[in-house]
Structure formats: C-alpha cells, structure tokens
Amino acid sequence: MSDTTPYFPTIEAVKAAAKKLEGVANVTPLVSNAQYSSAYDCNISFKREDLQVVRSYKIRGAYNKMSSLTKQESANGVVCASAGNHAQGVALSCKLLKIQGTIFMPTTTPKQKIERAKMFGEHFVKIVLTGDSFDDAYNAAIKDCTEREKTFIHPFNDEKVIEGQATLGLELIHQAPAPIDYVFVAVGGGGLASGMSTVFKLLSPNTKIIGVEPEGAPSMKAAFQKGQVIELETIDNFVDGAAVKRVGDKNYAICKSNLHDMITIHEGNACQTILDLYNKEAIIAEPAGALSVSALEAYKDEIKGKNIVCIISGGNNDITRTAEIKERALLYSNLKHYFIVTFPQRAGALREFVVDILGPNDDITHFEYTKKVNRENDVAVVGIELKSQHDLEPLIAKMKEDNFYGDYLNEKPELFQFLV
C-alpha cells in the first residue's frame, strides 16, 4: 500500500482481531437506559466499555497489536506512551503474552491509573513518569524505543490497534435489537472512532457516527477545519483519556471519511455528566467516558424517536478527583462563584455579610483572608455556592449596595486559575 492511499480496516481483519481477543477482552453489555431515553424522547443505550477487564476499550487494540508481533520483536520488548488507559491494556497484554514492556506516562496521570497499570503488568512492566502531557510521554517513549530497538505500541495511530478497537463495532451491531441511528463516541487520538466507524460504514452505512472531544483539546475538530492533521500548541489535560495535541494521521484520514460530525463538549459539562451517571445510574465514568452522554443535549432535536448508542469508553476515575469534578460541574452550571469581598473594620461585619447579604440557600465553600490593603477594610477571597444561577445578580447587587463588593473572580482567568 502506498503512502498516499488511506488505510481502512477490512471486516476480515476486524473479525480476525475479534478471534484473538476471545477470552482476553470482555464482550461488554449494551444496556438500554430508561432515564435518558425518557429525557430525550428516544431509545438510548450505553455500550459499557467501563466494564472491560481494564475498565476501558484499550485492551482490544493493545492485545491485537502485541499478539501480532514476531518472536524477535516480542523478545526485544515493547514500549508505549499513555495517559492511563492504553497503559493498562499494554500492561495486561505484556503479562498475558509474557513480553517485557516499558510504559511512559505523564506526571499528571491519576494515581489510580498508574497503580492499576502496575497491577496488571506485574513484573513484566516498568512505569516511567515524565512530562505534563501525553505528547511529552510519547516523545520520551519514542526516544527509548529507538535507542533500545524495541517495538512501539502506539495508542491509536497503528493498523493493528485500529482493527482491535474496531471489534467494539462488530459487537455493537450484533447486540443491537434494531438498526442504530446514531452512535456517540469520545475522540482522543481517534483509534476507537476510526475503527468502529469503518465497521459501521461497511455493515450499517445509515448509522451516523458523532465524534466528541473536550473543548480544551479539540485536536480532531481542528484537523477537520484545517483539512490536515495539526498539532495544538496547548491543551487542557483534565479529560486525560481524550487529551492529545495531535491525532493520528491514519485515524484522521478514516474519521474524516466516516464521521457524520465532530463536536466538542465543555469539561464542566462532562463533569456534571460524571456526577449524574454516578448518582442516578451507579455508573463510574471517567471524564472521557462521559463525553458521549454529554453530547446528547447538542443533538436533542435530531435524535428524537431514534435509536441511540453512547459509548461509555472508560471508568478509570480516581476518587481523589471528586472534589475537582464537582467544582468544575458547579462552575459550568453557573452555581459556584468566587469574589473578593471587602469587610469594613466594624464589629459584626462578617455576621452582617452572612445574615443580610447571602441568600437563605447560599453556602460559603471557600473563605481566605488576604493581605490587608488599607486600614478601613479587611479583604477575603470568598467562594459561594448558589442553589440557582438566577441568584447571582441579586447577590452582587446587595454586595455593592452595602459596600462588600470588591471584585468578581470567575471572569478573571489569570487569578481564577489559582482557586480551581
């Protein structure tokens, strides 16, 4: 195949991958969801890849690739770069295939994902933490791979990896009780979206595949807009399972041909979905795993009366991130606000603020005195959680009227970033 000919996986290759994965990857359930179906007046089902043995679909591609190595390649060992989920897939594959592997992960990777990679790989893997993003880890992994003549297991831009991820599409079509109208899938580097969308294009061409990225890392959407793969200068790493600066060349070519649409979701929206899925459905979804469900609102008119599938792509969420997830959700919902509050130097000023300025349902969630700026006033940074977003304007009006208002920090990103 020439370099100018785009690669597309064949059904035969995907079926061969599915055969290899028997007994390794779970056939995850496709579960109808009554609550979301009622809310959007359609038939919504979740493909529960969070119930995979490594809690994400990544085992599919990693094992298919590594089981295809030659004896010499296996003996030399493998290297990968990952923000967490691919690392776990590679780690388990190393143990099952008895291949030594080195896994490079960003220092920002949630601890839970690091520990699980160690658990799955046991003595077959070595974990190296480096850099602040997937791309930093990738560059370090490539350097190590070249110097030591090992095989690099790419998380998405690899034919065998794409064919492995594509097995999810085969399962989905087999499991669906009726033709699927829309599938919503998270996009990071594009491995799952490119593999799965090809299966649907061949076997269920009327199904529309919607790719979903976080607003802070829209690498596939940017590539679509430019007509070529580009590297983003900066990204928000919060949605760690879908935060890459550059998508794969192979993945881009396939997605550009197959996807019906490519949309972005605010990180705060994804956080609210994480909380909703946990509180209402007892589903533990990681930020990337929640993107597909978050996207339903953007398509609420198009999906009415249709058969919809959301891919819950992963459930590797670190419980230590819960406070940040709630914070981001509240901020996105316009229910959490930070102010600089000036307290006059008089007895009872703080009590007056709490009793007379705050509403009966308002809660102070953050309070920190700052350096005194003059003799007349004390100054504090105050975080306030509201019950309704409509309570904000009356609150600010009362603060100004009684001379408590100093500044509103939510609209000052250069200061606000130190609070969240």
CA atoms within a 13 Å half-sphere pointing along the CA-CB vector of 247: 32
The distance of Cα 232 from the centroid of its chain, to the nearest Å, equals: 17
241-250, 300-309, 400-409: which is most confident: 300-309
Residue 195: pLDDT band (50, 70, 90) is very high
Report yes or no on 6 lying in a domain. Answer: no
Hey, which residues are catalytic here? 58, 313
Q: Choose the final residue of a domain: 326, 361, 378.
A: 326
Q: How many domains does the chain have?
A: 3
Whether 50 and 63 share a structural domain? no
Whether 79 and 51 share a structural domain? no
Whether 246 and 359 share a structural domain? no
User: Residue 169 in contact with residue 14, Cβ under 8 Å?
Assistant: yes
User: Residue 337 in contact with residue 410, Cβ under 8 Å?
Assistant: yes
User: Residue 172 in contact with residue 30, Cβ under 8 Å?
Assistant: yes
Whether 304 and 198 share a structural domain? yes
Q: Render pLDDT for 362-395 as a digit per residue (tens, 0 to 9).
A: 999 999 887 655 556 788 899 999 999 999 999 9
**Does the pLDDT value for residue 83 go beyond 80?**
no
Mean of the per-residue pLDDT values of the chain: 92
CATH of the domain at 100: 3.40.50.1100
Q: Render pLDDT for 41-72 as a digit per residue (tens, 0 to 9).
A: 999 999 999 999 999 999 999 999 999 999 99
Report yes or no on 5 lying in a domain. Answer: no
DSSP line for 369-415? E----SSSEEEEEEEEE-SSGGGHHHHHHHHHHTT-EEEE-TT-HHH
**Does the pLDDT value for residue 246 go beyond 50?**
yes
Q: How far is CA 303 from CA 78, 169, 172, 180, 207, in A?
A: 43, 20, 18, 11, 12
Report yes or no on 139 lying in a domain. Answer: yes
Q: Give the pLDDT of residue 414.
A: 65
Report yes or no on 310 lying in a domain. Answer: yes
Report yes or no on 223 lying in a domain. Answer: yes
Q: Choose the final residue of a domain: 122, 152, 182.
A: 152
Contacts of 32 (CB under 8 A, 6+ apart): 43, 44, 45
- In the chain, % of residues over pLDDT 90: 77
Degrees, nearest 5: CA angle 211-216-222: 55
DSSP line for 39-83? HHTSEEEEEEGGGSTTSBTHHHHHHHHHTTS-HHHHHH-EEEE-S
CB neighbours (10 Å) of residue 192?
31
- How many residues make up the chain in this entry? 420
Whether 72 and 130 share a structural domain? yes
- Pure H helices in 188-321: 191-203, 219-226, 249-258, 267-281, 287-294
Structure tokens at 11: 């059904």
Q: Render pLDDT for 158-188 as a digit per residue (tens, 0 to 9).
A: 999 999 999 999 999 999 999 999 999 999 9
The SS3 of residue 347 is: coil
Q: Give the pLDDT of residue 6.
A: 83
Number of H helices, E strands in the chain: 17, 14
**In the sheet where 336-344 sits, what is the strand order?**
363-369, 377-385, 336-344, 405-408
Report yes or no on 3 lying in a domain. Answer: no
Whether 87 and 169 share a structural domain? no
For tokens 């220092």, name the residue: 107
Whether 306 and 322 share a structural domain? yes
Contacts of 346 (CB under 8 A, 6+ apart): none
Q: Choose the final residue of a domain: 152, 175, 200.
A: 152
Question: Residue 207 has what DSSP assignment?
Answer: P
Distance in Å from the first CA to the final CA of the chain: 49
CATH of the domain at 353: 3.30.70.260
Report yes or no on 4 lying in a domain. Answer: no
Report yes or no on 2 lying in a domain. Answer: no
Q: Render pLDDT for 221-243 as a digit per residue (tens, 0 to 9).
A: 999 999 999 999 999 988 988 98
- What single-letter amino acid sits at 150? K
Contacts of 14 (CB under 8 A, 6+ apart): 163, 166, 167, 169, 170, 195, 198, 199
Whether 302 and 195 share a structural domain? yes
Torsion from C-alpha of 275, 277, 283, 288, nearest 10 degrees: -80
**Does the pLDDT value for residue 304 go beyond 70?**
yes
**Does the pLDDT value for residue 349 go beyond 90?**
no
* Residue range(s) defining the domain that contains residue 363: 334-416
Whether 146 and 168 share a structural domain? no
Whether 225 and 317 share a structural domain? yes
Whether 97 and 172 share a structural domain? no
Whether 312 and 167 share a structural domain? yes
